[in-house]
Structure 1
């Protein structure tokens, strides 16, 4: 009986965007955790890698820090909607 009341309260169409936003946030966090565990040069999961100690592998660190998304947005303008921003801020329009 109590579970039926909880389902009626939380499974309304108004709550779906909240579930979507929380799901996206959890997905992003999970993706970042997997990325750090799998590709971060400072994280060592295996015992053999942990025994190696501190490594000065700058090439691997540079590859990790300058990932594809960062390379893509490096030379882009930091605007969300550049055409609308230009329309409202440029006097030539």
Structure 2
């Protein structure tokens, strides 16, 4: 019975599904670890929870302004700007 189930689920057509689910689980795990470790609003220790609400705006700003956000800040929100420019301005 086990080989038939393995043959049904391990077909080459199912590999993209496994890859997509694996990437989604990886992204969720990354975000979970990131929030637990460096989010200024999440306090795991009892000592930190006893501090109450802190007004640490600089730490919150540092958390929100991560490297990816800094990288895409000045860029155009288009995926393929040259291709979009080619089809929208044919005279160029």
TM-score with structure 2 setting the length: 0.95
Per the alignment, residue 86 of structure 2 pairs with 87
Q: Which runs of 5+ in 1 are unaligned?
A: none
Secondary structure in 2 aligned to 1:77? coil
- 1:83: Cα distance to partner? 1.1
Q: For 1:1-93, what aligned pairs fall within 5 Å after superposition? A: 1=1, 3-93=2-92
Deviations 1:50-83 (A, max 9, x none): 1111100000000011111011111100011111
- 1:91: Cα distance to partner? 3.0
Please give the alpha-carbon distance, in whole angstroms, between the structure 2 residues aligned to 1:32 and 1:92.
45
TM-score with structure 1 setting the length: 0.94
- 1:4: Cα distance to partner? 1.9
Please give the alpha-carbon distance, in whole angstroms, between the structure 1 residues aligned to 2:54 and 2:5.
53
RMSD across aligned C-alpha pairs, in angstroms? 0.9
